[in-house]
Amino acid sequence: MATTSLWHIKGRLKDLIDYVENPEKTMPNEDMQDFFDVFSYVKNPLKTNEGEYVSAINALKETALQQMILTKKQYQKTGGYIAWHGYQSFKPDEVTPEQCHEIGLKLAGEMWGDKYQIIVATHLDKGHLHNHFCFNSVSFIDGQKYNYSKSEQKRLREASDRLCREYGLSVIENPKKAPSRPLYLDEKNGKPTRYNVYREDLREAINGSRDLQHMMKYLADKGYEVDFSGSHWKMKLPKYKHFTRLDTLDERLTPNFIQSCLGGASRYGNYKAKISYSPHMPEQYKNAWKPHQKTTGILALYYYWCYQLGIFPKGTDYKPTSPLMKEELRKLDEITTQVRYMSKHNISTLSDLHADREKNQTEMNKLIDYRQHVRNKVRRATPAEKEKIREEKRCVTERITELRKRLKYADRIEKRSAHIDDCLNQIYDTIENQRSNRQKQPVKTARRREEPLR
């Protein structure tokens, strides 16, 4: 059994050239890190049995990156996606390293070997053997750029499955779209991802409801939209576009199984869904957010959100009951980093944030112009002067990198503040609906009691 995936690598041709000239001092961005790692295995092959399981197609493995650069320059296609990176991962203990590498070479040759320069590296350092494919985005035959369409995705999967059958390996009969690696790891570690939150609330709804009608009401009171028609029941939170099938969360969650399990913990009646606010909210933050109004005091809004999530105060036993808030706990590190950034730079309102962003953007633009001036000085400098000028350029680049991080923080803070407003509005509407339903409930009960007396 083998799973496959392929994704594009964003970057600049200069990043490739810098890496070729001085890989020890090159700091690639996150997207290019894995791509460069594959080429570093050729020189430092700790994961590939001293380079035995690294091969190249249409290139020499020692100079594959340089050849890719020449192809891009030859056809004057140095923009857009810089390369493609993929993997083919096998079931643990199903293949030998030799078989894994051989299958990987055949797959790469069949898929891209007629037009593109490819590196195939087989990694032995994990519990499962897997192949990495890195190939040029530009064809050395005609300069055509590779396009990864749905038909190509299907062709890659079918070719991999056919090779697995030829080697007597198992094949996934009903493939499903795999989650992203960060999501997969968070799911595996039990963090409050969307699916884990769904599972938890679904378990509560099933155990706490005596019949299907009350189960649907329980989920609706939690803020979910449900669709229990057809053979595949579905649910979702309002902020998501698509429903999630319950049997995707757990293959056992079929309509028959759910109905057979209803009321596991509700012997004497149905449980009621509850959504509450943190009891630890300080007075100065209680009015930091108002329903259906755009919050401009974003630092106070962040503090309000941190209390609602149970992040503040430390040591509290409060846990959010809304699924919208539960899922946000997965982004705990990002939220706390943004709070520290605003506190450090005295950002309290959206106006402060915009001013901070404009100041950083202006400074960065000046430094980029100055760095270009320094680059020009390097070309005219003597060999003795070049090292000093390059050090100056490196310091300028570090400052530009720091400013880029600040600009990203500002963008993400503004987007998250709008997201927090939306989440709180949805939670507020859910609580208001619950209150209105409770107010109507005694009237209905009284009428039912009066009927027998007539």
Spatial CA neighbour of 302 closest among 408, 417, 409 = 417
Q: Determine contact, residues 92/128, Cβ cutoff 8 Å.
A: yes
What one-letter code names the amino acid at 193? T
Beta bridge partners of 131: 88, 122
Which segments within 153-285 are labelled E, that is strand? 225-227, 234-236, 244-245
Residue with structure tokens 């898929």? 111
d(C-alpha 314, C-alpha 310), whole Å: 8
Tally of CB atoms within 10 A around 349: 16
Tally of CB atoms within 10 A around 215: 24
For 136, 331, 340, 417, 420, the CA distances from 336, given in Å and listed in that order, are 39, 9, 6, 13, 14
Q: Where are the domains of the chain?
A: 2-178, 184-261, 283-440
d(C-alpha 313, C-alpha 69), whole Å: 54
d(C-alpha 29, C-alpha 235), whole Å: 37
Q: Which value, to the nearest 10 degrees, does the dihedral of the CA atoms of residues 406, 313, 424, 287 take?
A: -100
Q: Determine contact, residues 349/295, Cβ cutoff 8 Å.
A: no
DSSP per position, 366-435: HHHHHHHHHHHHHHHS-HHHHHHHHHHHHHHHHHHHHHHHHHHHHHHHHHHHHHHHHHHHHHHHHHHHHH
pLDDT attached to residue 379: 83
Helix locations, 223-288, DSSP H? 246-249, 255-261, 283-286
Divide the 454 residues of the chain into consecutive groups of 10 and give the mean pLDDT of each group.
84 64 56 65 56 85 86 87 89 91 95 93 83 91 93 93 93 74 81 92 94 94 94 93 93 93 83 90 94 94 95 91 92 93 96 96 95 88 88 92 95 96 93 83 46 36
pLDDT attached to residue 66: 86
d(C-alpha 259, C-alpha 129), whole Å: 42
What is the CATH code of the structural domain delimited by 2-178? Answer: 3.30.930.30
d(C-alpha 27, C-alpha 453), whole Å: 82
Q: Determine contact, residues 111/128, Cβ cutoff 8 Å.
A: no
pLDDT in tens, 10-21: 876 666 666 555
DSSP per position, 427-449: HHHHHHHHHHHHHHHHHHHHHHH
For 87, 296, 346, the CA distances from 311, given in Å and listed in that order, are 38, 22, 21
d(C-alpha 219, C-alpha 417), whole Å: 27
d(C-alpha 397, C-alpha 408), whole Å: 17
